[in-house]
Amino acid sequence: MQASPMSMPRGTASQHLRDSNAAERESTKEGQAGGTFRSKANVLSGQPDMEALAASLQARDCMNDNRMDPGLGSGFLPGEERVRQLTMRRQNCMWTFIFAILGVVLAVTDNEIRWDSLDDFYNVTKISFTLRVLVVTTTILTLYFLYKYYETLINLRRLSGIRLPPGVSISSLKGGGYWSQFLIDVLIMLPQPLPLLDVNVTIWNKGLGRASIYELNSILCCLMFVRFFYVPRFYGECISDLQSESTVALGRMNRVKIDESFILKYVIANSMQVVIVLTLLQIVMFAYMMMVFERVVDNGALQHFANCVWLTIITMTTVGYGDEFPTTLLGRMVSVMASIVAVVMLAITVNLVIAKLTLSRAESKVIAVMDKITLRKDLKHKAAVVIQRWIRAHKEYMEGERRGSTRGGYMMIPDFKSARRKNMDLRAQVLSNLPLLESINDFKETSDESFSNNLQTDVPELVGNLSSQLVQQEKRILELNKKAEEVNNLVAKLLAKKKQDTLQRSRA
């Protein structure tokens, strides 16, 4: 039994203190990650603080326990051991996903072979039995690699300085924060077709007035689709770096848990390709489950997979032509689940489309400059049209004046009128030209639009320039104040020195 630090003699405490300091220097040379077991400053300086001494002894015992753990590799430095454990974690995650999905493929194959060979049941029994044995084998291998995956997670926690019980147990899983996740993973792997389990299940279709008989293994085969829950983990571990040590550390700094839900949110919110793949995968899964639950109905149109895909698509797109519809209880439950999932995927798709079509700041600036150039060209064109029509109207008026007649609706200006009166009449007559007035109005509208556009562009730029100039002025003022303080301090020192020299001379 280890003695309490408070009850140790002075010599024993000093010895333990020297041992803890030596252990910490050794961990520093090895590059021990985490730094959670460093002693306090007063212990390093040799102060006999009992709390710091107890922390140092606990750190030494924890490091010794982790080094003696059989789950960790011997003969490796902590940095090398961490790299090895990270590589093993990725490999175990990859094999877990591969065998889990392989089990789904084998179960679907077995289910379809048994359904297509109902008339020749005895000839396919051996094939079906072999496929189900393979399904169970893949499940066992998946659980094995799942166990190794959590073993590497716990070893990484130990290397980061967390003291956990040896091996993979309930205590170590709870201590590492993986118990609930491990339990969910095991429950996901439980549904599967079993050999020699030829049991039929009768489900009464409430409201339809009849019952449907299913094979239990067919229902278990449909429940195996929950294994696609491993897709986000596989993407985060083996394809991207979303579950790397740096990402997890950054998440802990911001109190964000980097798990499957976070990876799914990140991928769905940033990748249209992933959303399309997930939508197609959901269509295939719901269509197959619909076919399995509806083909027990005699002469039903949903016995064919193509019709089930059609029904799933028009259900998920909320079209609902009504030409095909489920007639069993389980089929209707699948249709309801497809509708709920479709609402979520539709919202995600709309969000992604808006995000993709939203212009960036640089793109908006380019478009604004292009609009300004186009508006300037339009303004020049309309100004030229106004000038041309004004000249044409003035020319027509002057020709009529010279002929002394009224053409084109213009009235003669008597010769006895003054020059000012002539100019006023000329203005009135020229502005009575309707095409000229239309061109002037168009020019005014374009000019106002150009002015407002320039104002929207120039005002923020002007405000930004003024703000930057104010900041620079403030910096200059601070620098001047600092230099003024230095000058004042220098003057004060010179005055003090001069006063001191005067006193010394007066005493002499």
- Residue written as tokens 């094999």? 95
Would you state the structure tokens that stand for residue 160, as one six-digit string?
A: 């980061």
Residue 328, domain extent: 271-358
Whether 443 is in a domain gets the answer yes
Is 255 inside any structural domain? no
Does residue 372 share a domain with residue 352?
Answer: no
- Report which of residues 83 and 104 the model is more confident about: 104
Residue 11 has pLDDT above 50, yes or no: no
**CA dihedral sign of residues 238, 239, 244, 248:** negative
Q: What is the model's pLDDT at position 236?
A: 79
3 state DSSP class of 398: helix
Q: What's the chain's Rg over C-alpha atoms? A: 42
Question: 17 and 56 in contact (C-beta within 8 Å)?
Answer: yes
Same domain? For 489 and 371 the reply is yes
Q: Are residues 365 and 431 in the same domain?
A: yes
Average pLDDT over residues 321-331: 86
Q: Could you tell me if residue 373 is inside a domain?
A: yes
Cα separations (Å) of 420 from 351, 397, 412, 424, 426? 68, 17, 16, 6, 10
Res. 224: pLDDT tops 60: yes
Say if residue 209 is in the same domain as residue 232.
yes
3-state secondary structure of 231: helix
Q: Would you state the torsion angle of the CA atoms of residues 176, 177, 178, 183, taken in this order, to the nearest 10 degrees?
A: 130
Say if residue 26 is in the same domain as residue 56. Answer: yes
Integer Cα distance of 174 and 176 in angstroms:
5
* Total number of domains in the chain: 4
Contact 65, 42 (CB under 8 A): no
Q: Averaged over 245-249, what is the pLDDT?
A: 74
**Continuous H helices in 317-360:** 329-357
- Domain end (from 35, 67, 99): 67
State the pLDDT confidence band at 56, using cuts at 50, 70 and 90: low
Q: How confident is the model at residue 144 (pLDDT cuts 50, 70, 90)?
A: very high
User: Cβ-count burial of 334 within 10 angstroms (0-12 exposed, 13-18 middle, 19+ buried)?
Assistant: buried
State whether 354 and 365 are in the same domain. Answer: no
Query: Do 142 and 187 meet the contact criterion of CB atoms below 8 Å apart?
Result: no
Calpha distance 351→359 (Å, rounded)? 14
| Nearest CA-CA partner of 95 in 52, 35, 140, 28 | 140
Which of 358, 385, 408 is the C-terminal boundary of a domain?
A: 358
Q: Is the pLDDT of residue 100 over 90?
A: yes
Instruction: List the structure tokens of 457.
Output: 């562009």
In this structure, of 88-92, 132-136, 361-365, 478-482, the range with the lowest mean pLDDT score is 361-365
Residue 254 inside a domain? The answer is no
Q: How far apart are CA 320 and CA 14, in angstroms?
A: 82
Confidence of residue 138 (pLDDT cuts 50, 70, 90): very high
Q: Are residues 132 and 211 in the same domain?
A: yes
Are the C-beta atoms of residues 66 and 149 closer than 8 Å to each other?
A: no
Distance of alpha carbon 90 from its chain centroid, rounded?
A: 21
Would you say residue 478 lies in a domain?
A: yes
Of the listed ranges 19-33, 123-137, 266-280, 445-459, the one predicted with least confidence: 19-33
Q: What percent of the chain has pLDDT over 70?
A: 76
- What are the Cα distances from residue 357, in Å, to 112, 351, 353, 364? 44, 10, 6, 12
Query: In DSSP terms, which residues pair with 256 in a beta bridge?
Result: none
Tokens encoding 505: 């001379």
Q: At what angle do helices 272-294 and 216-223 cross, to 10 degrees?
A: 170
Mean pLDDT of 276-289: 91
Pair (277, 288) in one structural domain = yes
| C-alpha to C-alpha distance for 268 and 163, rounded to whole angstroms | 36
Mean pLDDT of the chain: 77
- My answer on whether 447 and 428 are in the same domain is yes
40 pLDDT more than 60: no
DSSP letter (8 states) at residue 147: H
Taking the C-alpha atoms of residue 274 and residue 265, their distance in angstroms, rounded to an integer, is 11
Q: Is residue 212 part of a domain?
A: yes
How far apart are the C-alpha atoms of 237 and 156, rounded to whole Å? 15
In a domain, 503, yes or no: no
Distance from C-alpha of 490 to C-alpha of 497, rounded to nearest angstrom? 10
87 versus 451: which is more confidently predicted?
Answer: 87
Please give the backbone phi and psi of residue 210, each rounded to the nearest 5 degrees, phi first: -155, 165
Helix (H, G, I), strand (E, B) or coil at 41: helix
Task: Check whether residue 406 and residue 486 sit in a common domain.
Answer: yes
Do 412 and 335 belong together in one domain? no
User: What's the pLDDT tens digit per position in 307-324?
Assistant: 999 999 999 888 888 888
H or E, element range at 476: helix 434-507
Sign of CA dihedral 167, 68, 8, 27: negative
Alpha-carbon torsion, ordered 150, 154, 156, 161, to 10 deg: 170
Instruction: Give the containing element (helix H, strand E) for 372.
Output: helix 361-403
Confidence of residue 35 (pLDDT cuts 50, 70, 90): very low
Report the CATH number at residue 297: 1.10.287.70
The end-to-end CA distance of the chain, in Å, is 80
Other residues' Cβ atoms within 10 Å of the Cβ of residue 23 = 19
Band (pLDDT 50/70/90 cuts) for residue 401 is: low
Q: How far is CA 327 from the centre of its chain?
A: 40
Residue 246 is assigned to a structural domain of this protein: no
161 and 235 assigned to the same domain:
yes
Query: Can you tell me the mean pLDDT for 190-210?
Result: 84
